[in-house]
């Protein structure tokens, strides 16, 4: 079967029907949805207007006012059911992710697993939204902090993790007592529709069990930039979690700051790995290959810069170039494929531009050429590129959302550490070494300046248990595990006087 006649639109409509999305929603609208697998049109969806968006957010606020009163462990029950529904839907939704985004099937399924994992995490969390009891200086007083629901949580997600990013935010926001309003990428609205339908199934079961939930607890907005702008500017939305490019963050961040709303920004990454003299090179090769070529270089955690010590450079880099030359590129639905397509032609052009700039800066390029265009003229498959660079200059300092790995030689550990940090972005990083001093230095205060710093694994593929996010132009937000939930709640400090006198703090006297 060639790429041209995969019959994806028929398959997608069957999947969506099984997941509970009405067929009527898939045609007649203005938003054309195409599969990057072969360029086939999958649907034409209706888009919401700015006025309707405003109304939907007002309704989400009403939902919040009720939902915040439901005890947190009961809210957790809804998320437990969501996790169950996602388990049932995993094969269908994972395949839909692959068709809509072009990531290989095991990664499509992995994305749904990530949704299930965060649901499990959030269920436990629903009984652990702990505050502190704090020693007070005043007799017969008690001081404590409590965590309360915050309000409507806006979620803006990118095409590359079209549903997992929603779940990291929504699972936490919902157990924290918030309602959610979701604006997915225009490139991936079908997986969003499917996810919303799965959520509604969980909600129906929750209500059938006797659970209380308001209407409009989870709202999906299919639309363009104007819709995102209404969400960002809306006074009823105290928190927006936005994932995308640094350019998007620069547009969104100041608008939120202007109205003192909170933001969780998850922006560009330009992630590096350092390969030290003692590194296990077989392990390194596998770690680098997955981190740099996986998801066709379209993760925000993708490995983009590799610093290799001069003593192992000639042992590692030729093997790496060979692996790049032989990796299977093609239909992401076939189990033998490791590298699927780029999301679209714009992405291909940006990749070629970066490669041309790298060449002009003295880079030696292997790969990077377009393949399979005879089978599918509207799909953009590329051979992943390794570029040996004389220095960290030009395009190396930018995030190009494509499979380009810039490789540089280093001789001194501190120099490699400096290079790791010497880019505007600060998401993820890693070191391959069996030297304890190098490993510990890398994760220390004078080591990597990124939100994620790994030893002997690549920078991508984080699990949900840790806080996910990065520093500098990556935006500073944290999502998913650890105590990231705190961003979705408001903290109140309460002092209670159970005595008969009124001692003032700091010994102040004020007797009237």
Least CB distance to ligand UN1 at residue 266 (A): 7
Q: Check residue 460 for interaction with ligand UN1 (CB under 6 A).
A: yes
Query: In Å, how far are 37, 40, 44, 83, 421 from 5, measured between CA atoms?
Result: 11, 9, 20, 34, 46
Residue from 38, 126, 153, 160 in contact with ligand UN1 (CB under 6 A): 160
Q: Quick one: 94 or 149, whose CB is closer to ligand UN1?
A: 94
Q: How far is the CB of 108 from ligand UN1 (least distance, A)?
A: 13
> What are the helix and strand counts (H, E) for the chain?
13, 23
CA distance 354 to 272: 17
Among 180, 284, 301, 366, binds ligand UN1 (CB under 6 A): 301
Q: Is 425 helix (H, G, I), strand (E, B) or coil?
A: strand
Q: How far is the CB of 330 from ligand UN1 (least distance, A)?
A: 22
Comparing CB distances to ligand UN1, the nearer of 217 and 300 is 300
Contact 250, 475 (CB under 8 A): no
Does residue 238 touch ligand UN1 according to CB under 6 A?
A: no
Q: Which of 132, 236, 239, 220 is nearest to 182 (CA)?
A: 220
Nearer to ligand UN1, 337 or 474 (CB): 474
267: contact with ligand UN1 by CB under 6 A: no
Among 68, 299, 383, 478, binds ligand UN1 (CB under 6 A): 299
Tell me if 304 contacts ligand UN1 by CB under 6 A.
Answer: no
Distances (CA, A) of 23 to 10, 20, 45, 495: 11, 9, 11, 56
Other Cβ atoms less than 10 A from the Cβ of 509: the count is 6
CA-nearest of 235, 241, 302 to 484 is: 241
User: Which residue from 102, 461, 477, 481 is in contact with ligand UN1, where contact means CB under 6 A?
Assistant: 461
Q: How far apart are the first and last CA of the chain?
A: 90
Q: Please identify every residue annotated as catalytic.
A: 266
Check binding of 300 to ligand UN1 (CB under 6 A).
yes
| Contact of 464 with 114, CB cutoff 8 Å | yes
CA 348 to chain centroid, in Å, comes to 22
Number of chain residues interacting with ligand UN1 (CB under 6 A):
9
Say whether residue 467 binds ligand UN1 (CB under 6 A).
Answer: no
Range 316-345, binding ligand UN1 (CB under 6 A): none
- The smaller minimum CB distance to ligand UN1, of residues 295 and 366, is found at 295
The smaller minimum CB distance to ligand UN1, of residues 196 and 243, is found at: 243
With binding defined as CB under 6 A, does residue 157 bind ligand UN1?
no
The smaller minimum CB distance to ligand UN1, of residues 376 and 404, is found at 404
* Residues 309-327 as b or e (16 or more Cβ within 10 Å = b): beebbeebbebbbebbeeb
462 touching ligand UN1, by CB under 6 A: yes
Residue 335 burial by CB count (10 A; 0-12/13-18/19+): exposed, middle or buried?
exposed
Q: Does 161 bind ligand UN1 (CB under 6 A)?
A: yes
- Residues contributing to the site for ligand UN1 (CB under 6 A): 160-161, 243, 299-301, 460-462
């Amino acid at each position: 079967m060639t790429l041209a006649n995969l019959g994806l639109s028929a398959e997608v409509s069957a999947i969506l029907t099984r997941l509970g999305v009405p067929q009527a929603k898939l045609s007649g609208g203005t938003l054309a949805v195409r599969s990057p697998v072969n360029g086939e049109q999958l649907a034409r969806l209706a888009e919401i207007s700015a006025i309707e968006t405003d109304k939907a957010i007002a309704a989400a606020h009403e939902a919040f006012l009720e939902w915040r009163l439901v005890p947190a462990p009961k809210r957790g029950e809804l998320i437990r059911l969501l996790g169950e529904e996602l388990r049932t839907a995993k094969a269908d939704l994972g395949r839909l992710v692959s068709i809509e985004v072009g990531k290989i099937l095991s990664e499509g399924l992995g994305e749904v697993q990530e949704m299930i994992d965060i649901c499990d995490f959030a269920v436990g969390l629903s009984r652990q939204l702990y505050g502190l009891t704090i020693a007070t200086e005043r007799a017969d007083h008690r001081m404590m902090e409590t965590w309360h629901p915050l309000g409507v949580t806006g979620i803006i997600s990118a095409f590359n993790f079209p549903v997992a990013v929603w779940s990291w935010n929504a699972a936490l926001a919902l157990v924290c007592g918030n309602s959610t309003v979701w604006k997915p990428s225009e490139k991936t609205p079908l997986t969003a529709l499917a996810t919303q339908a799965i959520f509604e199934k969980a909600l129906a079961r929750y209500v059938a069990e006797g659970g209380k939930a308001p209407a409009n607890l989870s709202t999906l907005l299919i639309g363009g930039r104007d819709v995102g702008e209404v969400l960002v500017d809306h006074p009823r939305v105290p928190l927006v979690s936005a994932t995308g490019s640094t350019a998007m963050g620069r547009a969104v961040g100041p608008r939120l700051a202007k109205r003192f709303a909170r933001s969780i920004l998850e922006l560009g990454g330009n992630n590096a790995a350092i390969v030290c003299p003692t590194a296990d090179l077989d392990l390194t090769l596998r770690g680098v290959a997955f981190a740099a070529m996986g998801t066709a270089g379209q993760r925000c955690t993708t490995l983009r810069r590799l610093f290799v010590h001069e003593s192992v450079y000639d042992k590692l880099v030729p093997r790496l170039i060979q692996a790049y030359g032989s990796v299977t590129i093609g239909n992401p639905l076939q189990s033998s494929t490791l590298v699927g397509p780029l999301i679209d032609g714009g992405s291909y052009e940006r990749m070629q531009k970066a490669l041309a700039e790298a060449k002009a800066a003295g880079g030696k390029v292997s790969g990077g050429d377009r393949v399979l265009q005879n089978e599918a003229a509207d799909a953009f498959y590329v051979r992943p590129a390794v570029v040996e660079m004389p220095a960290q200059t030009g395009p190396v300092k930018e995030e190009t959302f494509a499979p380009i790995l810039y490789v540089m030689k280093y001789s001194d550990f501190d120099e490699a550490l400096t290079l790791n940090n010497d880019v505007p972005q600060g998401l993820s990083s890693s070191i391959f070494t069996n030297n304890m001093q190098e490993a510990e230095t890398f994760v220390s205060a004078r080591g990597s300046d990124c939100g994620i710093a790994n030893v002997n694994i690549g920078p991508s593929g984080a699990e949900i248990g840790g806080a996910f996010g990065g520093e500098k132009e990556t935006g500073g937000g944290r999502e998913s595990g650890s105590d990231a939930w705190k961003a979705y709640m408001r903290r109140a400090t309460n002092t209670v006087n159970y005595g008969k006198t009124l001692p003032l703090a700091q010994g102040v006297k004020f007797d009237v």
